[in-house]
Amino acid sequence: MAASPPDLTPIRAQVYKDPRPESHFAPFHERSRTREPDWVYEVVRMTTSLYSWTFFRARSEGAEKVPYTGPVILAPNHSSFMDHFFCGAFVRRRVRFMAKSQLFKPPLQFVYTHGGVFPVRRGYSDEEAFITANGILGNGGAVVMYCEGGRSRTGELSEQPKRGIGRLALESGAPVVPVAIHGASRVRNWKRGQFPKVRVAFGDAVRWPRTADPTRDQQQDAADEVFRRVKRLYAGLQRG
């Protein structure tokens, strides 16, 4: 596993397999499938958006490309614990997040569940997470799913995305909006008193015909296409 560069605060050691049984997460999925985010979402969004705009001078371009209604998948790169909030700060609708299961512990699990976050059980092929995501999209919701899966430890984009984003795009038939978040890899340096500028770019949506049981190759091909678009947006942000 690649280590963090010396100019980046290291990410603490990760636990890549959640030992808790699948049944432990059933209530979180049930809530996400049957209820919308409540007032907690708005409180967290307002607080984290002010933090993002003020300390990280976060700005966006192309946010109008995210449809205001109907199903949509937002597909960002991932290098910071703040990426959820950088993405949500510029979208004029409530978005739902797929997050690693280790986050679902008291007391913050209350914030996550009421704020529209649902777990993916780390270390397993978690079908429940896809059922929940497809259910939200089927009800016309917006879901954020990271192309790379976990956070980048090096601050650089991954060579290849995970298949999951391609699978969700094909199974749901929902449009996918590629999202590039630039500067977020250095957000972890806040402990050193460093607050980098963050820029978020939203690209044109791409969509595939709905496919009930896509093959692994189909999933990877779709994921690769989404990630190519993310890389293109990211390169544009790097050029300033």
The DSSP letter of residue 20 is: S
Q: What is the pLDDT of residue 124?
A: 87
- Cα(first)–Cα(last) distance of the chain, in Å? 30
Counted domains in the chain: 1
What is the domain range of residue 227? 23-238
- Kind of pairing between the strands at 95-100 and 142-144: parallel
The DSSP H or E segment spanning 199 is strand 199-202
Q: What is the pLDDT of residue 150?
A: 80
228 is a domain residue? yes
What residue has token string 């999951």?
A: 164
94 is a domain residue? yes
φ and ψ of 178, to 5 deg: -70, 140
Q: What is the pLDDT of residue 154?
A: 76
Whether the bond between 107 and the residue before it is cis, its omega within 30 degrees of 0, is yes
4 is a domain residue? no
Q: How many CB atoms lie within 10 A of CB 131?
A: 13
Q: What is the pLDDT of residue 10?
A: 65
Per-residue pLDDT of the chain (240 residues; tens, 9 = 90+): 455 565 666 666 666 789 999 999 999 999 999 999 999 999 999 999 999 999 999 999 999 999 999 999 999 999 888 999 999 999 999 999 999 999 999 999 999 999 999 999 988 889 999 999 999 999 999 999 999 988 877 778 988 999 999 999 999 999 999 999 999 988 877 777 778 899 999 999 999 999 999 999 999 999 999 999 999 999 999 997
Q: Beginning with the edge strand found earlier in the chain, give each strand of the sheet holding 142-144 in spatial order.
A: 59-61, 199-202, 176-182, 72-76, 142-144, 95-100, 117-120
- Asked whether the CA dihedral 66, 71, 75, 79 is positive or negative, the reply is positive
Q: What is the pLDDT of residue 188?
A: 79
Rounded CA gap, 159 and 105, in Å?
32
- Residue 26 burial by CB count (10 A; 0-12/13-18/19+): exposed, middle or buried? exposed
125 is a domain residue? yes
Q: What is the pLDDT of residue 9?
A: 64
16 is a domain residue? no
72 is a domain residue? yes
9 is a domain residue? no
Rounded CA gap, 103 and 107, in Å?
10
13 is a domain residue? no
